[in-house]
Amino acid sequence: MDRTESLLTAPAAGSPATDPAPAPAPEPAVTPAQPPAEPPRRDPRWTRPALLGLLLATAVLYLWGLGASGWGNAFYSAAVQAGSESWKAFFYGSSDAANSITVDKTPASLWLMALSVRLFGLSSWSILVPQALLGVASVGVLHAAVRRWYGPVAGLLAGAVLALTPVATLMFRFNNPDALLVLLLVAAAYATVRAVETASTRWITLTGALVGLGFLTKMLQAFLVIPVFAGVYLLAAPTGLGRRIRQLLLSGLAVVVAAGWWVAVVELVPANARPYIGGSQHNSILELTLGYNGLGRITGDEEGSVGGAGRMGGGGPFSGQSGLLRMFGTEVGGQISWLLPAALILLVAGLWLAGRAARTDRTRAGLLLWGGWLLVTGLIFSFMSGIFHAYYTVALAPAVGALVGIGATLLWRARTTPPAPRWRGFAATVILAVTLAVTAWWSWRLLGRSADWYPWLRTAVLVAGLAVAGLLLLVDRLPRRVAPVLLALGAAAALAGPVAYSLQTAATPHTGSIPSAGPFVQGGFGPGGRGGFPGGGRMPGGMPVPGGQLPGFPGPQNGSAPNGGTAPNGQFPGLPGGGTAQFPGGDGRSQRGGGMGGLLDAREPSAELKALLAADADDYTWVAATVGSNNASGYQLATGEPVMPIGGFNGSDPSPTLAQFQRYIADGEIHYFIGGSGFRANGGSNASAEIAAWVAENFTAQTVDGVTVYDLSGGEQG
């Protein structure tokens, strides 16, 4: 037998085929061991170099040309800059070093980047490199988790699929919280694997702690895997039921402690001694957790948001309509779904192979672990009616990779492992061939959504995939040395589409709040996420934006300002930044700044405006105030000085109120106001519009390079 085929056929040391699970014990006093039935096999010499090669290739993919994305998501970059200058801003995740308001997430991901900036200075590299390294670590930990029970080939395949998933390439080259969240959840899955092996209290408690840290990274999204991890441990850990339950309760306590200590501090500190909690309407981290970033994402009832079910139609044009097929739709499919059909087929096939195994069978436990992760998280993403963005699906990539690696390996072993019935081996071969054929067909469909982008590739993928699938049906009649070649060709055909998308993603700068992997998709969201409206001046879904109209947004159509006032000729003088804001053009930005009037991307001040803001900066707490965090972040990153983001991300938080803002002016704490009124939606505060109107009535406007600026240093002018 060829050495590669032998490796695929032989299970890993510690796998279920060599380590039969013990019968359940009533309540053992000590943790039972699982002695191997035979001496553990050593991995071939090439497996470690192969892993190092995978990690090195992943690092190159995620790091190459990283600085081209600039600040990436400037909303978070401004908070990183603030945290690098103020430990208070660091702890709370404040948008500015003067601590007026926080970002609308828990701050763990900001901590890593802020520490990097403190060490290496403020730059796009010091912000983005930690994210790329989190991606490399995620690939390595996933490999370790899968390899432990299923062997090195399964681990390498799982890691490669994760590394090459387009949305993973996007998010590990970007500075959203998702990069750290993925690493923490993969590490929690690894800890669960270790816990299941020996019913280890230490490992299952670590699982809870890692998930709790995931909450401090992206709040309740981290908790989606809890029922899966707990259920797998409850099913498969080799100890009595009572002990399993007690261990899970201890793990739950670890979740509460790891997630809750920061929440407790924020809730106990008086509101006047900390920044306002961005994204909440009542300055409460619990409200933010359970509302805007919690159940509101499921139901669409997100007070203060500009999206949601009632306004965007079940998630809105940014993410496709909610429903069972959302993960395969135009806006999401190219991000995550390349190997999603294969993962689902292989999950079912793997469970079929596991059959009626013992309760502690690891083959079934691993499939339930990764399959449960995929199904629970994927279904919630599919049906949630609140704000959902396609890049959230990076949380599915580890599960897809694990299921592909595990399933393909199990089916290949089933071909030749005695004493299985001959029909069982033939059925496994057929399933492998069908899986490859379906994957090639689906890649052909996805590539067809970008018909003008390397049109030959989709044909090559389909032909190669179907040809190799056909040859797999004949593999037992071919020379043994042909089998590894077929496997390599099949893997190449299956991964060609996501590889091409990932390379395009790595070669494209990404900025703004809604990045997207891959090339422009006809009728979809488009490339790059530049300012949130990629695709050459079109709304998501390919809808043009004539005359500045914003379909699906609050207020009347046909040139209405976001707060309901009319704006003739489709012009919006009340939008953040002042002047006439023209909506997305070729690069997804308005004429003088961020996409959609600065809601989704940072404004880029001219040298003249930057010099104006920097003058006498040391005499003020904030060199300027403006509506919306993305507007403020652009000015803050350009000047290095605190800029107050009135109303938080959407401009709809009551921070500050008009009375508070007037006190700041009376105390001489704010130098300039950069014109704008912001967005009010879904019941949010109108404080930002009130502040903008009051400033316009009481101060003299000046225009600096097309941007309306008010000097507040002289007090009210009447």
Residues 65-85 pLDDT 10s: 999 999 999 999 999 999 999
pLDDT at 312: 45
105-114, 514-523, 622-631: least confident range: 514-523
Which is higher by pLDDT, 346 or 23? 346
In this prediction, residue 422 has a pLDDT band, given cuts at 50, 70 and 90, of confident
Separation of alpha carbons 185 and 398, rounded Å:
9
pLDDT at 295: 84
CB of 263 within 8 A of CB of 289? yes
Q: What is the mean pLDDT of residues 688-694?
A: 93
Residues 695-709 pLDDT 10s: 999 999 999 998 999
As a whole number of Å, the end-to-end CA separation of the chain is: 91
- CB proximity list for 403: less than 8 A, separation 6 or greater: 343, 344, 346, 347, 350, 367, 370, 371, 374
Checking if the pLDDT of 571 tops 90, the result is no
pLDDT at 45: 87
Above pLDDT 70, what percent of the chain? 79
Checking if the pLDDT of 21 tops 70, the result is no
Q: What is the mean pLDDT of residues 119-141?
A: 98
Residues 39-49 pLDDT 10s: 456 778 889 99
CB of 636 within 8 A of CB of 646? no
pLDDT at 307: 55
pLDDT at 418: 65
Checking if the pLDDT of 404 tops 70, the result is yes
CB of 161 within 8 A of CB of 137? no
Checking if the pLDDT of 713 tops 50, the result is yes
pLDDT at 601: 75
Strand order in the sheet with 701-704: 643-646, 622-627, 670-674, 707-711, 701-704
pLDDT at 484: 86
pLDDT at 718: 53
Residues 350-403 pLDDT 10s: 999 998 899 999 999 999 999 999 999 999 999 998 889 999 999 999 999 999
pLDDT at 541: 33
CB of 611 within 8 A of CB of 620? no
CB of 555 within 8 A of CB of 562? yes
What mean pLDDT is reported for the chain?
A: 84
108-112, 135-139, 569-573: least confident range: 569-573
Across 408-412, 603-607, 677-681, the highest mean pLDDT is recorded for 408-412
Separation of alpha carbons 372 and 369, rounded Å:
5
Q: What is the DSSP string of 235-254?
A: HH-SS-HHHHHHHHHHHHHH
Checking if the pLDDT of 568 tops 70, the result is no
Checking if the pLDDT of 556 tops 50, the result is no
The pair of structure tokens assigned to 148 is 């432990």
- For CA atoms 339, 344, 347, 353, give the dihedral sign: negative
Checking if the pLDDT of 561 tops 60, the result is no
pLDDT at 223: 97
Checking if the pLDDT of 557 tops 80, the result is no
Residues 577-600 pLDDT 10s: 333 333 332 233 333 445 455 667
Which is higher by pLDDT, 1 or 617? 617
Residues 478-493 pLDDT 10s: 888 888 899 899 999 9
Q: What is the mean pLDDT of residues 162-188?
A: 98
Residues 265-289 pLDDT 10s: 999 999 999 999 999 999 999 999 9
pLDDT at 678: 56
pLDDT at 313: 44
| Every domain of the chain and the residues it spans | 3-19+63-501, 607-711
- CB proximity list for 72: less than 8 A, separation 6 or greater: 124, 127, 128, 174, 175, 510, 511
pLDDT at 716: 64
707-711 and 701-704: which strand pairing? Answer: antiparallel
pLDDT at 685: 86
pLDDT at 306: 63
Checking if the pLDDT of 548 tops 60, the result is no
SS3 content of the chain, % helix, strand, coil (to 5): 55, 5, 40
In this prediction, residue 421 has a pLDDT band, given cuts at 50, 70 and 90, of confident
Q: What is the mean pLDDT of residues 279-308?
A: 82
Separation of alpha carbons 568 and 372, rounded Å:
53
Separation of alpha carbons 297 and 281, rounded Å:
16
pLDDT at 534: 38
Checking if the pLDDT of 124 tops 70, the result is yes
Checking if the pLDDT of 14 tops 60, the result is no
Checking if the pLDDT of 166 tops 60, the result is yes
457-471, 552-566, 585-599, 688-702: least confident range: 552-566
Checking if the pLDDT of 261 tops 70, the result is yes
Which is higher by pLDDT, 17 or 175? 175
pLDDT at 682: 62
* CB hemisphere CA count around 398 (13 angstroms): 32
